[in-house]
Every structure is written in C-alpha cells, then in structure tokens.
C-alpha cells in the first residue's frame, strides 16, 4: 500500500493533516483542569453534531463496538427483550452482542440491500401489549451493503403504538457525514466512533444518552465496569476519567468537531451526497448495480457494488492494493465475494474521489471485466461539473 494515496474504505477514513497534528500532542496531566479544556468543549460540540440540546455525551477509549456495549449494559437487564432487524453484517453483530449478554432478541430478518422494515416494527410493537420489548435497535447506515434506513419512520412506529421502548441507533458510519437528528427523531442512545465522519484514527466510542436512557441506567442490572456511564459522569465532574483517557484523540475530536461545525453541518451532508452521487453515476456507467435495492436507501458514505455472477469481487480489492496501492472495501457476510465497496466519507473531495473511480476502472479492466476505461470517470466528472461544490473548507 502507498501512504500517498487516499483510502476508499468505509473507515477508518482519510485524516486531514491538521487533525493528525492535533492528535500528536505532548503528554499532559489527564486529571488536571487542562484536560477539562479539551474534554468539555469536545462533548459540547459532539452534542451539536448530533443535533441535540439535551443528549449527554460519553466518550470511551474504544470503537463503535464498545459504544454498542455501552448502550446495552447501562440500560438493560438480563432477560430483557429487544427488537432488531438483521439486514447486514453490522446489524447482525449488534444482535450477536445482545444474545451474548443474555438478552432476548426478537429478530426481523430482512433482505440484505433493504432498509429497516419500519412497517414490520410497527406491527410487532402494536402487538406487544404487555410491553415486554425494552429497546428497539436500528442501524442507521448498514456499512456492509451501503444502505441508509429511515430512523424517523422507526420513531413513528414506536409513537403510533404508544410504546415506551427506547430507541438505540447505530450511527457509526452516518453521524458527522449524513443528517442525524437525535432530538427530532426521539433517539435514546446514539452510537458512533472517531474513525469515520470525524476523520480521526480509530480509538473513541462516542455515545449520546437521552434523559430516558439516563433514567434507565438506575435500574439496569447487566454487568458493566469499563463502560459504566455513572463512573464516567463522575469522572467528567472532576475534569477526568475513571481511568486513563486517550488525550490526543480527545484533542483531535475537539478539533474535528470544530471543523465540521465551521463548514456547517448542512454543507457537510451536501458534500457527502454530492460525492456519493458522482460515485453512483460512475457505477451506472460501468453497467453495475448497487447492493442497495432503491435510491431511497442509498448511502451517502459507502457504495457496495455488485459484480457479475461468477466473478470474485474480492479480487478487485486485492489487485487495487497490490498493483496500485489503493484500498477499497471487501464484501462482508452474505455479499462476500459478490461485491466490493467504495467508501466516500470523511475528508474527501471530488478530485480525490475521481482518483478512486479511475483506480477501480483499471482494476476491473485488468481482471477482464467488460469495463471501458474512462467511462465511470467521465460520468462522475459530468455530475461534479454540473453540481459545483458548496465549499471545500473543511475537506481541504
């Protein structure tokens, strides 16, 4: 691989030089007021990125997986029932975690490539007259298939059933890249990580809790130690953690949120949509299809591209790395070997994206697929020329 080339995986994403330098800082006393000058502004800015006035932000030295565990262990008890759809690898992994923690999971099996079935959620919630379901799990952006789901529709399903279950949302590959509305969607726990839309190295689990979720922590009995939000909140009150924090990453998060807010969240979302539309134009020009079944579920952060029957899509990823020093994402789970993924989130511009499209074309042509060199690049160029960028400020 080449360190000179941008990566086109769905995360970790490219790191702007200013954020890399922000993470590279001298050692400070992490129990001093100086650390509080990093910690508290970072939490306040994350709250703004979530579009919330009330979410309490917890930041753990971990990844999105640790954020999932934080959501479950702080709000639920052994034997509790949760409702979840399985429509991709990451929803599957969250379900698996629930089961390992002794939770009863009512699983709604959903075809990979489709969004969350809010209508089926609604039916199940209405029939749950004894209110046994304590939480509804929703993967906002299924990274394995490039599918974005309608979280507002899931909230409506809960409200129409007048159901008290909490709404937990995996926003790992959507938050800070696509529109996310913690308050407006009635989210109770939102989970994300540092390595995607926040443009940082992996290492931080970022979690937002609603007032309802915070109340649930008082009666939840699943075991927790490292991910205990009460311990974390007590640490925050003293400008500290209950253990050693990742100070450099926290400083990077504070700077990253500042960049996003300076660019303007609506501009950030528009930039991601614009770049994604160029990638989708290229895919159409190649004559290939997305895993996502329809435009209403297309992700603006990752495109999972199906290759022709009998062709091993993983060969494209391997060839790109070995021959051109460029990283794409492999297919996962049910689409392993059947699709490859182009990540288009974080610190990315149309010019950078064109290099990834050109590389994918070269790989597919090298491997014998019927791809005309330049076809996808030209289609993306036409789209980008017809839809000028609003700003390149934060992505530059």
Q: Kindly state whether residues 357 and 324 are assigned to the same domain.
A: yes
Q: What is the rounded distance in angstroms from the CA atom of residue 167 to the CA atom of residue 172?
A: 15
Domain C-terminal end among 240, 262, 284: 262
Full residue range of the structural domain in which residue 23 is found: 17-262
The helix or strand, by DSSP H or E, that contains position 272, with its residue range, turns out to be helix 265-286
Q: What is the rounded distance in angstroms from the CA atom of residue 289 to the CA atom of residue 367?
A: 18
Is 5 inside a domain boundary?
no
Q: What is the rounded distance in angstroms from the CA atom of residue 260 to the CA atom of residue 357?
A: 25
Model confidence band, residue 292 (pLDDT cutoffs 50, 70, 90): very high
Q: What is the rounded distance in angstroms from the CA atom of residue 145 to the CA atom of residue 298?
A: 9
Worst-scoring range by mean pLDDT, 67-71, 239-243, 391-395? 391-395
- Measure the CA angle with vertex 371, ends 369 and 376; round to 5°: 140
Q: Where residue 253 sits, what CATH number does that domain have?
A: 3.40.640.10
Whether residue 393 is predicted with pLDDT greater than 80 in this model: the reply is no
CA distances (Å), origin 51, targets 117, 121, 182: 25, 25, 6
Q: What is residue 129's predicted lDDT score, i.e. its pLDDT?
A: 96
Is 10 inside a domain boundary?
no
Backbone angles phi and psi of 194, in degrees to 5:
-80, -20
Strand partners, 190: 169, 208
Q: Kindly state whether residues 286 and 305 are assigned to the same domain.
A: yes
Q: What is residue 29's predicted lDDT score, i.e. its pLDDT?
A: 92
Model confidence band, residue 90 (pLDDT cutoffs 50, 70, 90): very high
Q: What is residue 3's predicted lDDT score, i.e. its pLDDT?
A: 82
Is 393 inside a domain boundary?
no
* 3-class secondary-structure state, position 206: strand
Q: What is residue 395's predicted lDDT score, i.e. its pLDDT?
A: 45
Q: What is residue 1's predicted lDDT score, i.e. its pLDDT?
A: 60
Q: Kindly state whether residues 271 and 286 are assigned to the same domain.
A: yes
Q: What is residue 386's predicted lDDT score, i.e. its pLDDT?
A: 96
CA distances (Å), origin 375, targets 238, 286, 309, 323: 58, 7, 21, 21
Whether residue 197 is predicted with pLDDT greater than 80 in this model: the reply is yes
Model confidence band, residue 396 (pLDDT cutoffs 50, 70, 90): very low
The helix or strand, by DSSP H or E, that contains position 153, with its residue range, turns out to be helix 151-160
Q: What is the rounded distance in angstroms from the CA atom of residue 363 to the CA atom of residue 262?
A: 37
Q: What is the rounded distance in angstroms from the CA atom of residue 374 to the CA atom of residue 232?
A: 52
Q: Kindly state whether residues 330 and 202 are assigned to the same domain.
A: no
Q: Kindly state whether residues 217 and 314 are assigned to the same domain.
A: no
Q: Kindly state whether residues 30 and 142 are assigned to the same domain.
A: yes
Half-sphere exposure of 84 (CA within 13 A, CB side): 28
Is 111 inside a domain boundary?
yes
Q: Kindly state whether residues 116 and 139 are assigned to the same domain.
A: yes
Q: In the chain, pLDDT over 90 holds for what percent of residues? A: 96
pTM score:
0.96
Domain C-terminal end among 246, 262, 278: 262
Q: What is the pLDDT of residues 300-359, one digit of tens each?
A: 999 999 999 999 999 999 999 999 999 999 999 999 999 999 999 999 999 999 999 999
Is 177 inside a domain boundary?
yes
Q: Kindly state whether residues 278 and 343 are assigned to the same domain.
A: yes
Q: Kindly state whether residues 236 and 339 are assigned to the same domain.
A: no
Q: In the chain, pLDDT over 70 holds for what percent of residues? A: 98
For the residues 283-309, what does the mean pLDDT come to?
98
Q: What is the pLDDT of residues 348-386, one digit of tens each?
A: 999 999 999 999 999 999 999 999 999 999 999 999 999
Q: What is the mean pLDDT of the chain?
A: 96
Q: Kindly state whether residues 278 and 186 are assigned to the same domain.
A: no
Model confidence band, residue 391 (pLDDT cutoffs 50, 70, 90): low
Domain C-terminal end among 199, 229, 262: 262
10 Å CB burial of residue 386 (0-12, 13-18, 19+) is exposed
Is 395 inside a domain boundary?
no
Q: Kindly state whether residues 22 and 33 are assigned to the same domain.
A: yes
Q: Kindly state whether residues 224 and 279 are assigned to the same domain.
A: no
Whether residue 261 is predicted with pLDDT greater than 50 in this model: the reply is yes
Number of domains, the chain: 2
Q: What is the pLDDT of residues 97-146, one digit of tens each?
A: 999 999 999 999 999 999 999 999 999 999 999 999 999 999 999 999 99
Contact (CB, 8 A) for 156 and 102: no
Is 12 inside a domain boundary?
no
Is 109 inside a domain boundary?
yes
């Amino acid at each position: 691989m080449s360190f000179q080339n941008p990566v086109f995986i769905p995360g970790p994403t490219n790191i702007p030089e200013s954020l890399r330098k922000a993470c590279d800082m001298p050692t400070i006393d992490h129990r001093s007021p100086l650390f509080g000058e990093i910690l508290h502004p970072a939490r306040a800015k994350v709250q703004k990125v979530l579009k919330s006035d009330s979410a309490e932000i917890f930041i753990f030295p971990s990844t999105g997986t640790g954020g999932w565990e934080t959501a479950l262990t702080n709000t639920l008890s052994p034997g509790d029932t949760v409702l979840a759809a399985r429509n991709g690898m990451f929803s599957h992994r969250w379900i698996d975690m629930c089961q390992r923690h002794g939770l009863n999971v009512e699983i709604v099996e959903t075809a990979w490539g489709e969004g969350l079935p809010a209508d089926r959620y609604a039916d199940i919630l209405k029939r749950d007259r004894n209110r046994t379901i304590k939480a509804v799990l929703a993967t906002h952006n299924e990274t394995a298939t490039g599918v974005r789901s309608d979280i507002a529709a899931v909230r409506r399903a809960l409200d129409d059933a007048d159901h008290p279950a909490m709404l937990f949302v995996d926003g790992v590959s959507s938050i800070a890249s696509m529109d996310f509305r913690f308050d407006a969607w009635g989210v109770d726990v939102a989970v994300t990580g540092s390595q995607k839309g926040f443009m940082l190295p992996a290492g931080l689990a970022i979690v937002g809790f609603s007032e309802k979720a915070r109340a649930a922590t008082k009666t939840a009995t699943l075991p927790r130690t490292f991910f205990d939000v009460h311990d974390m909140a007590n640490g925050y009150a003293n400008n500290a953690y209950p253990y050693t924090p990742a100070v450099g990453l926290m400083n990077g998060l504070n700077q990253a949120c500042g960049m996003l807010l300076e660019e303007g969240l609506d501009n950030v979302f528009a930039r991601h949509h614009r770049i994604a539309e160029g990638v989708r134009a290229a895919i159409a020009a190649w004559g290939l299809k997305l895993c996502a079944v329809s435009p209403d579920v297309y992700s603006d952060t990752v495109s999972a591209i199906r290759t022709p029957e009998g062709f091993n899509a993983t060969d494209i990823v391997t060839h790109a790395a070995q021959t051109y020093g460029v990283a794409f994402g492999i297919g996962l789970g049910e689409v392993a070997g059947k699709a490859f993924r182009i990540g288009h989130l974080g610190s990315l511009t149309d010019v950078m994206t064109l290099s990834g499209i050109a590389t994918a074309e070269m790989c597919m042509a090298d491997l014998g697929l019927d791809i005309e060199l330049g076809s996808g690049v030209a289609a993306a160029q036409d789209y980008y020329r017809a839809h000028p960028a609003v700003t390149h400020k934060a992505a530059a």
